Structures are given as C-alpha cells and as structure tokens.
Amino acid sequence: MAMNRPGYSNPAQPSKLRWGELEEDDGEDLDFLLPPRQVIGPDENGIKKVIEYKFNDEGNKVKITTTTRVRKLAKARLSKRAVERRSWAKFGDAVHVDVGSRLTMVSTEEILLERPRAPGTKEETKVAGDSLAQLGKGGAVLMVCRTCGKKGDHWTSRCPYKDLAPQPESFVDKPVSSETNATSGMTKGAYVPPSLRAGAERPAGGGSDMRRRNEENSVRVTNLSEDTREPDLHELFRTFGAVSRVYVAIDQKTGMSRGFGFVNFVNKEDAERAIAKLNGYGYDNLILRVEWATPRTN
C-alpha cells in the first residue's frame, strides 16, 4: 500500500529519482493511520464486500469498496483419494525426466468439435466433412437440374427428361467461373474463357444458348451477408414459385460469400413478384437488393 506523493523524494537517492524504483523505495508508510481492511460476506447470494482505505495521489484518505460475487466452480469436486494420489511420488521412467523432454504439451492448435453441418440447417444441405465422400458424391451441395427442376437427383447434363425439354441442348455443366461470367455479362477487359471467345470452336449457338438460359427469369440478389449460402437463398425465394437455379458467388480463395448471387425462376411472374417483394427486404441485418440480372430490353 505504498503510495507516491509528489514533492516527496527518497533520501537515499536525492538527486535522481528513477521511476522504476519509485514503487519499492518509497519508505514512508502511513498505512497505520488508516482504518483496517474490512471484509463483509459472502452472503447467501455470494456477494462479498471488501472495504479498504488508502491515500490517493493527493494524500487524501480514500475509501474503496469492492463488491464481488463469489461463485463456486462448477462441481470442482475431487475425492479424498484422488487428492491423496495427487501427491504420490513419481515412479518408473517418470522419476528422472529431463526438463526439456516435454512429454506433455498443450496443443498450440485450437481443436473444435467440427459439426458435420452448420447448426440449424436442414438435412438437405448435409455434406460430410470428408473430402473422400465429397469426391464420390460429386458435390451434392445444391444439385438442381435446370431442365426438370428436380433437386439433388442429377445434374442438368444427366437429366433423364432432357429429351422432353422444349429445346434439346448441348449444354454441359460448366465450372462456376464460366457461369458467373455469362450471367454478369461481358464487361470490357474481363476474362473471357476460351470457349466463349469470338471465333472459338463451339457447337452452333451453344454459348449464346447457355447465356440466354441463365438470363431467363434470372434475378440478381446483392448485399447478401457473408454467411448466406445457396440453401438460404433457395429457402427465401422458394415461397414465390418454382426456382430452377440458385447461385451464390463464393470467393475462391477465402471460401466466403462475395455478397451476391443469382436466382432463376421457372416463371417470369414469380420472378417479378419476388423482386417486388424482396427488394429492400431486411435479411440478416442487411437490406437486400433484388433486381433483374440483366437489363431487360422489353
């Protein structure tokens, strides 16, 4: 309880008073003038009061009351025998262990109980955390056939109802990059995959067909929160009508959502209603912006 008062200097070192030594070298102790420390409680609620007196920087007497709540640690019980065992002498190889051997270490890595899926999500989004299983399944995250609208059963390219679709198409499911490119439109200077470049060999009308398809009743959703995933978006838009495709742009490096996505509706009216309803809708603390994916000419 040794306090430093300004203007007072230690007689042992009158000339230079080092700040580092102030604490210890302050010889004068006026604590005996103070009333003793008082401890009240803990009462039945575990509230404990400690009243202390000390001199503050100006040399005035101050009363400090500290109120704390004392709680017993959750069942930190140990049997008598276990306590006794704690003091057992080491034996066997444990007797002479070099200090540096470090047999017992606390992991530097924080290990979490990894949930197979985020808590609260539905069964349909279940993906095993195992990379092998994923390889086998071919990424069944959101397998929506764009031809028949069937979910999780097959990819568009393998659709058994392909022949029944209005336009037989030579479209083969392209990796995400080509899809985004097609949907977000070709801006100048943006990367164009070789298959879409002018003069590239491709089945007549194939690329444009794909583009047209993706534009069809496509709704762009922006200002999505980072943890919005495709199933969430699907959940949100499903109420307006049959949804044929949901896509959320994911940053390849971080794996986080880039904050925008696309939803394709089977019916144009549904898309219109969704835009009318959800544009400006508060979702996950953010205000959604929902609009047609491409500027409509009509």
Partner 1 sequence: MRPILMKGHERPLTFLKYNRDGDLLFSCAKDHTPTVWFADNGERLGTYRGHNGAVWCCDVSRDSMMLITGSADQSAKLWNVQTGAQLFTFNFDSPARAVDFAVGDKLAVITTDPFMGLPSAIHVKHIARDPSEQTGESVLTIKGPQGRINRAVWGPLNKTIISAGEDAVVRIWDSETGKLLKESDKETGHKKTITSLTKSADSSHFLTGSLDKSAKLWDIRSLTLIKTYVTERPVNAVAMSPLLDHVVLGGGQDASAVTTTDHRAGKFEAKFFDKVLQEEIGGVKGHFGPINALAFNPDGKSFSSGGEDGYVRLHHFDPDYFHIKI
Question: Shortest distance, CB of residue 72 to partner 1, whole angstroms?
Answer: 16
Q: Compare residues 79 and 254 and give the one whose CB is closer to partner 1.
A: 79
| Residues 291, 295: Cα–Cα separation, whole Å | 9
| Residues 274, 293: Cα–Cα separation, whole Å | 13
Q: Fill in the amino acid letter for 134.
A: Q
Residue written as token pair 């943006």: 190
Asked if residue 246 lies in contact with residue 153, where contact means CB atoms within 8 angstroms, the answer is no
Q: Compare residues 109 and 201 and give the one whose CB is closer to partner 1.
A: 109
Q: Which of 29, 32, 33, 27 is nearest to 12 (CA)?
A: 27
Question: Shortest distance, CB of residue 109 to partner 1, whole angstroms?
Answer: 8
Question: Shortest distance, CB of residue 108 to partner 1, whole angstroms?
Answer: 8
Question: Shortest distance, CB of residue 80 to partner 1, whole angstroms?
Answer: 10
Question: Shortest distance, CB of residue 136 to partner 1, whole angstroms?
Answer: 9
Q: Compare residues 107 and 252 and give the one whose CB is closer to partner 1.
A: 107
Question: Shortest distance, CB of residue 3 to partner 1, whole angstroms?
Answer: 40
Chain residues that interact with partner 1, rule: CB under 8 A: 75, 78-79, 81-82, 85-86, 88, 90-95, 97, 102-116, 119, 128-133
Q: Which long-range contacts (CB under 8 A, 24 or more apart) does 290-294 make?
A: 290/219, 290/220, 290/221, 290/222, 291/219, 291/220, 291/222, 292/218, 292/219, 292/220, 293/183, 293/214, 293/215, 293/218, 293/219, 293/220, 293/262, 294/183, 294/185, 294/215, 294/218
Q: Which of 95, 7, 105, 93 is nearest to 58 (CA)?
A: 7
Q: Compare residues 58 and 114 and give the one whose CB is closer to partner 1.
A: 114
Neighbours of 221 (CB within 10 A): 28
